[in-house]
């Protein structure tokens, strides 16, 4: 009778102590049995019951975040190479764990893997970075580079350790200085900003001058091209005119030659044609002499000048 009651109690207790799980987007389910992780991860959409976490089972379900997450390190020491100690109030690190690396990373570094492979390295590396810079570099000239220095180091460490973690960004708050030092560096910073503005104005003016030179050169080149174009057009027109005049001259010469040939044919030769032309010239003379002839006169018979 006692054994029957015990069995009934177990039947009632075991289902009520079973673990219900549901995996949401951006997570992977990592189950363990007696302290050993199961390599088969549960993915978003998986849900159900696990064996109860009582003796002799000892089961557990851990939800590992695989979407982008933020980790932060508070009050991080930054010791400059000039011996001064400064404190960075907060450093935020955005990171993402690749789902395919969940099992190996958690198995190697535990559920709080980010504390071991990210946060602890932040504290150490910031001291390394700051030890190479003086206070002025940290607060003025190199402050905007500190986040990139730290990000590059953290990513190289993740790659070296094969954690599957991608460092998305690093953000630092500016360290606080004693009031007198803060005023000094702020004054220097303002001077540098003013100097940069002046440099930018100078560069702008230089660029404007260069642009003006380029524009003037372009106008000059365009004028040269236009003049060259006009010259070529004039040359073409002159060549065309010469060709036309030559054609006219050739045509006129050809006409005269043909006329000469025709006249030769009509008058029986060049001598006869010349005689014809002389008679035409005499016939066209409007002067008529009466009485004695002058000492010299053009004689039609002699075809020339005659003397008494």
Per-residue pLDDT of the chain (308 residues; tens, 9 = 90+): 555 544 554 444 444 455 777 888 988 988 888 778 888 888 888 887 766 655 566 778 889 899 999 999 999 988 888 888 888 999 999 999 999 999 999 999 999 999 999 999 999 999 999 999 888 888 878 888 999 999 999 999 999 999 999 999 999 998 877 666 666 766 766 676 677 778 888 888 888 888 888 888 888 888 888 888 888 888 888 888 888 888 888 787 877 777 777 766 665 556 666 676 776 776 666 565 555 656 655 555 555 545 55
Quick one: 48 and 122 in the same domain? no
Final residue of a structural domain among 15, 37, 65? 65
The reply to whether 278 falls in a domain is yes
Q: What domain count does the chain have? A: 3
The reply to whether 188 falls in a domain is no
- Exposed, middle or buried by CB within 10 Å (0-12, 13-18, 19+), for 234? exposed
Average pLDDT, the chain: 79
The reply to whether 207 falls in a domain is no
Query: What CA–CA distance (Å, rounded) separates 157 from 121?
Result: 9
Q: What is the pLDDT of residue 13?
A: 46
Q: What is the pLDDT of residue 16?
A: 44
Quick one: 13 and 27 in the same domain? yes
The reply to whether 136 falls in a domain is yes
Quick one: 92 and 161 in the same domain? yes
Quick one: 137 and 169 in the same domain? yes
Beta strands in the chain (DSSP E): 19-22, 27-33, 36-37, 47-50, 59-65, 69-79, 85-97, 165-172, 296-299, 304-307
Q: What is the pLDDT of residue 273?
A: 64
pTM of the model: 0.53
Q: What is the pLDDT of residue 180?
A: 66
On the question of a cis peptide bond just before residue 56, with omega within 30 degrees of 0, the verdict is yes
Final residue of a structural domain among 47, 65, 83? 65
The reply to whether 150 falls in a domain is yes
Q: What is the pLDDT of residue 120?
A: 92
Q: What is the pLDDT of residue 294?
A: 60
Quick one: 44 and 114 in the same domain? no
Quick one: 76 and 172 in the same domain? yes
The reply to whether 166 falls in a domain is yes
Quick one: 19 and 51 in the same domain? yes
Phi, psi of 27 (to 5 degrees): -135, 160
Domain of residue 75 covers 69-176
- In this structure, what CATH number is given to the domain that contains residue 109? 3.30.479.30
The reply to whether 191 falls in a domain is no
Final residue of a structural domain among 176, 201, 225? 176
Quick one: 172 and 75 in the same domain? yes
Residue among 171, 169, 153 nearest 161 (CA): 153
The reply to whether 295 falls in a domain is yes
Quick one: 76 and 155 in the same domain? yes
Tokens of 48: 């159900």
């Amino acid at each position: 009778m006692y054994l029957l009651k015990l069995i009934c109690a177990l039947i009632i207790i075991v289902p009520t102590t079973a673990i219900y799980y549901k995996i949401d987007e951006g997570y992977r389910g990592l189950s363990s049995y007696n302290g050993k992780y199961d390599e088969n991860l549960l993915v978003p959409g998986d849900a159900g019951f696990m064996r109860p976490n009582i003796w002799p089972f000892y089961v557990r379900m851990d939800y590992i975040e695989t979407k982008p997450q933020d980790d932060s390190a508070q009050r991080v020491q930054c010791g400059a190479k000039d011996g001064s100690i400064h404190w960075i109030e907060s450093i935020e690190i955005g990171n993402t764990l690749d789902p395919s690396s969940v099992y190996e990373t958690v198995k190697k570094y535990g559920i709080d893997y980010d504390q071991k492979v990210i946060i602890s390295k932040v504290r150490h590396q910031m001291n390394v970075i700051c030890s190479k810079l003086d206070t002025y570099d940290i607060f003025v000239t190199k402050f905007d580079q500190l986040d990139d220095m730290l990000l590059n180091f953290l990513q190289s460490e993740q790659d070296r350790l094969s954690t599957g973690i991608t460092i998305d960004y690093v953000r630092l708050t500016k360290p606080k200085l004693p009031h007198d030092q803060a005023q000094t560096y702020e004054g220097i910073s303002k001077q540098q900003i003013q100097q940069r503005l002046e440099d930018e104005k100078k560069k702008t003016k230089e660029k404007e001058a260069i642009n003006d030179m380029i524009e003037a050169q372009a106008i000059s080149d365009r004028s040269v091209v236009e003049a060259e174009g006009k010259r070529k057009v004039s040359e073409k027109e002159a060549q065309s005119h010469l060709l036309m005049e030559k054609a006219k001259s050739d045509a006129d010469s050809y006409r005269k030659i043909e006329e000469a040939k025709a006249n030769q044919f009509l008058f029986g030769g060049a001598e006869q044609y010349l005689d014809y032309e002389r008679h035409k010239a005499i016939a066209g003379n409007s002067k008529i002499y009466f009485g004695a002839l002058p000492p010299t006169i053009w004689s039609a018979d002699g075809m020339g000048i005659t003397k008494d």
